[in-house]
Amino acid sequence: MKVLLSEKQIQQRVGTLARKISKDFSGREVLLIGILKGAFIFMADLARKMTPPVKMDFVRVASYGSETQSSGKIKFTKDLETPLRGKDALIVEDIIDSGITLKHLYQRLKARKPRSLKVVTLLDKPGRRQVNFQADYVGFQIENHFVVGYGLDCAEEYRNLRAIYVLK
Ligand code: IMP
Ligand code: MG
């Protein structure tokens, strides 16, 4: 395994994202919506670096049928426990690959009429996109490698690593 992003690089970038997001949401309470499982470590660090009042909730989604079908719908295997209507919400994702998960999730959550709905992703692989989807905040754009660590797994392994590695 080769280090792609060191612990220091990640922490610095998460700090920068948190400052930018805190400024944009200043004076408002933010509902962070973490996508399980991959986003939980990023969300924990981001939340602790933010200055506005924060509440947290999580969703877990599965896609129907083949992941490679851009028409593939998602279902909630764990839904939010809080109503979204009228809230300022920020979806927190670990990585955007094809964009299919987030595009569908965004539409489903937007239909619940939050006051605002934004997306932050730690990693973005724009070269792998199958549907048009752009996050509002991106930590790092990366090449089309499979990466692990800092919440990201391969068959449930490596989530607890402090850096992000390319799996060879
Ligand atoms: P997509 O954008 O719908 O294709 O799916 C993104 C999801 O696939 C992420 O939330 C991850 O769970 C998983 N994923 C995509 N690329 C990687 C990777 O390089 N390492 C680990 N998980 C990944
Ligand atoms: Mg994920």
- Tens of pLDDT, residue by residue over 46-73, are 999 999 999 999 999 987 655 445 556 7
| CA distances, 125 to each of 116, 119, 138, 140 (Å) | 25, 15, 10, 9
The set of protein residues with a Cβ atom below 6 angstroms from ligand 1 is 38, 93-102, 146-148, 152
What is the spatial distance between Cα 69 and Cα 18, in angstroms, rounded to a whole number? 34
Strand partners, 127: none
Residue 20 CA to residue 83 CA, distance in Å, equals 26
Contacts of 62 (CB under 8 A, 6+ apart): 74, 75, 77
Distance 40 CA to ligand 2 centre (A): 9
Mean pLDDT in residue range 81-102: 96
Q: Is 86 exposed, middle or buried (0-12, 13-18, 19+ CB in 10 A)?
A: exposed
Nearest Cα residue to atom 10 of ligand 1: 95
Q: What gap in Å lies between CA 60 and CA 112, rounded to an integer?
A: 17
**pLDDT score for 14:** 98
Q: Residue 45 above 80 pLDDT?
A: yes
pTM summary value: 0.95
The phi and psi torsions of 155 (rounded to 5 degrees) equal 50, 45
97 is catalytic: yes
Q: Could you tell me which residue, 63 or 151, shows the higher pLDDT?
A: 151
142 CA distance to ligand 2 centroid (A)?
16
What amino acid is encoded at 102 in this protein? L
Percent of the chain with pLDDT over 70: 95
Three-state SS for 116? strand
Distance CA 119, CA 93 (A): 8
Ligand lying nearest the CA atom of residue 39: 2
Burial class of residue 54, CB neighbours in 10 A (0-12, 13-18, 19+) = middle
